[in-house]
């Protein structure tokens, strides 16, 4: 059979079958035949019942159920549970030895150039960047200079030999990152580069003076902490007066976001930069974007049954959740989308005896069954195509 062929003339075995269709009621002839098989008393009782006047009007046959062929964009989505909050917490340790003398209050937002905590009453400052601080930065000096810092004079591998008793100038990606911050804070006028020179040292002295530090022109390891952006103090892990060991505070990002656990088999759907729709607990709908995807740590809820992905979603408009409490959220990812296609309710499909699916078209001149090709199934609808299908046509529905 070809698509669109009128199936009403087919042999009985090719007729459509509706799953779960109701049986027809008995005909009058069937009732009479059944009565003939009864005993005389039984038949008489049956005839008496049939002849008794009815006190109620017979029920009208139910109206046929119909649907309509429509043209639309059909979207298949995957929905997962998420959480609106400030995101994962990270512990921050001090690389400076000493006593913790001040911690910012929980909930405080710390930005570039501001004090993250104090060790021995000297500030540890937050700067922006992704390269962790791992060494002292210097413009170079003699090892015997008063500003010498233990461990600061080791030359990175491959930079050649230096005269005995000297410390080479620092250079590398961490220097460029630090100079970017100096310029953003207004302490450096020249274009940042990856070499810590006398101009950098001069800018650092002005920065140190502003912070109340000794003006050495060097940045000792532990004086700055890097983060991608502003941080929020989520928790204190230690109290002022304690020795600075282990995490001192736990921080999160400064803006709220949504996190979700997604089965790893759906990795292709949750790539970075993917757009999503988020439904919040109060019914508010907002949009977001996947900003990070990582393998979920073992032991997280939902991660024990199968491999899971930890997905971080940035809200396109962070202000859209102002005034709303943290709480559960539902995240919808688009799995597949078909634009400008003909669709019918799934219940309109007929399973054809010879295989495949058909539709009963209800037209002014009568009804007919035609074969159709199905496409995407989503939201109780199915994409259909075929030469006989037109938008707006009425179709029969299975009861």
Residue where a domain terminates, one of 222, 252, 282: 252
Distance between CA atoms of 135 and 317, rounded to whole angstroms?
38
Q: What is the pLDDT of residues 100-113, one digit of tens each?
A: 999 999 999 999 99
| Residue 136: inside a domain | yes
Q: Are residues 118 and 216 in the same domain?
A: yes
Q: What is the pLDDT of residue 61?
A: 54
The answer to whether residues 242 and 105 belong to one domain is: yes
Residue 348 backbone zone (phi > 0: left; psi -120 to 50: alpha; other: beta): alpha
Residues 326 and 374 occupy one common structural domain: no
Domain count of the fold of the chain: 3
Query: 262 or 26: whose pLDDT is higher?
Result: 262
My answer on whether 242 and 268 are in the same domain is no
How confident is the model over 143-158, as pLDDT tens digits? 655 554 444 434 444 4
Q: What percent of the chain has pLDDT over 90?
A: 71
List the helix and strand counts (H, then E) for the chain. 4, 22
> Do both 243 and 278 map to the same domain?
no
- The CATH number that applies at residue 359 is 2.40.420
Segment among 43-52, 148-157, 279-288, 335-344 with least mean pLDDT? 43-52
Q: Does residue 318 lie within any of the structural domains?
A: yes
Asked whether residue 328 is domain-assigned, the answer is yes
* Helical (H) or strand (E) element with 74: strand 70-85
Residues 312 and 231 in one domain: no
Which pLDDT score, from 0 to 100, does residue 156 have?
43
Judgement on whether residues 248 and 102 belong to the same structural domain of the protein: yes
Full residue range of the structural domain in which residue 183 is found: 90-145+163-252
The pLDDT of residue 145 is 57
* DSSP tag of 86: S
pLDDT of 375 higher than 60:
yes
Question: Residue 142's pLDDT is what?
Answer: 74
Residues in the chain: 399
Same domain, 313 and 368: no
Q: How far is CA 297 from CA 38, 85, 250, 304, in A?
A: 75, 19, 18, 10
The number of beta carbons lying within 10 Å of the beta carbon of residue 227 is: 21
pLDDT value for 330 = 97
248 and 264, same domain (yes or no): no
Q: What is the value of pTM for the model shown?
A: 0.64
pLDDT band at 57 (very low <50, low <70, confident <90, very high): low
Q: Which residue has the higher pLDDT, 300 or 21?
A: 300
Indicate the range of 139-143, 199-203, 267-271 predicted with least confidence: 139-143
- Does residue 141 share a domain with residue 128? yes
């Amino acid at each position: 059979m070809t698509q669109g062929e009128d199936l009403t003339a087919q042999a009985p075995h090719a007729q459509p079958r509706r799953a779960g269709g109701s049986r027809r009621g008995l005909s009058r002839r069937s009732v009479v035949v059944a009565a003939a098989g009864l005993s005389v008393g039984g038949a008489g009782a049956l005839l008496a019942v049939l002849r008794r006047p009815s006190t109620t009007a017979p029920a009208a046959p139910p109206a046929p159920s119909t649907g309509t062929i429509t043209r639309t964009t059909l979207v298949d989505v995957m929905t997962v549970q998420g959480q609106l909050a400030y995101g994962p917490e990270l512990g921050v340790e001090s690389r400076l030895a000493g006593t913790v003398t001040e911690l910012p209050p929980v909930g405080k937002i710390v930005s570039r150039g501001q004090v993250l905590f104090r060790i021995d009453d000297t500030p540890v400052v937050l700067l922006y960047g992704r390269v962790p601080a791992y060494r002292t930065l210097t413009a170079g000096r003699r090892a015997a200079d008063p500003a010498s810092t233990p461990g600061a004079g080791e030359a990175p591998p491959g930079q050649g030999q230096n005269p005995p008793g000297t410390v080479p100038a620092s250079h590398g990606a961490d220097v460029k990152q630090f100079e970017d911050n100096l310029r953003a804070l207004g302490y450096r006028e020249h274009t940042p580069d990856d070499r810590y020179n006398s101009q950098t040292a001069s800018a650092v002295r002005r920065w140190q003076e502003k912070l109340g530090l000794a003006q050495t022109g060097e940045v000792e390891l532990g004086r700055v902490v890097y983060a991608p952006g502003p941080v929020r103090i989520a928790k204190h892990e230690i109290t002022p007066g304690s020795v600075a060991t282990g995490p001192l505070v736990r921080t999160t990002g400064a803006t709220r976001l949504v996190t979700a656990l997604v089965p790893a088999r759906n990795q292709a759907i949750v790539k970075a930069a993917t757009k999503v729709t988020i439904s919040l607990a109060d019914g508010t709908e907002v949009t977001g974007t996947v900003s990070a995807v990582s393998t979920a740590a073992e032991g997280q809820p939902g991660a024990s049954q199968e491999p899971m992905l930890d997905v971080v979603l940035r809200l396109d408009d962070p202000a859209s959740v102002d005034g709303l409490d943290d709480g559960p959220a539902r995240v919808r990812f688009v799995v597949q989308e078909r634009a400008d296609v003909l669709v019918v309710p799934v219940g309109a499909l007929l399973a054809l005896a010879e295989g495949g699916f058909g539709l009963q078209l209800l037209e002014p001149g009568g009804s007919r069954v035609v074969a159709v090709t199905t496409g995407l199934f989503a939201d109780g609808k199915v994409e259909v195509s075929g030469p006989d299908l037109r938008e707006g046509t009425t179709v029969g529905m299975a009861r």
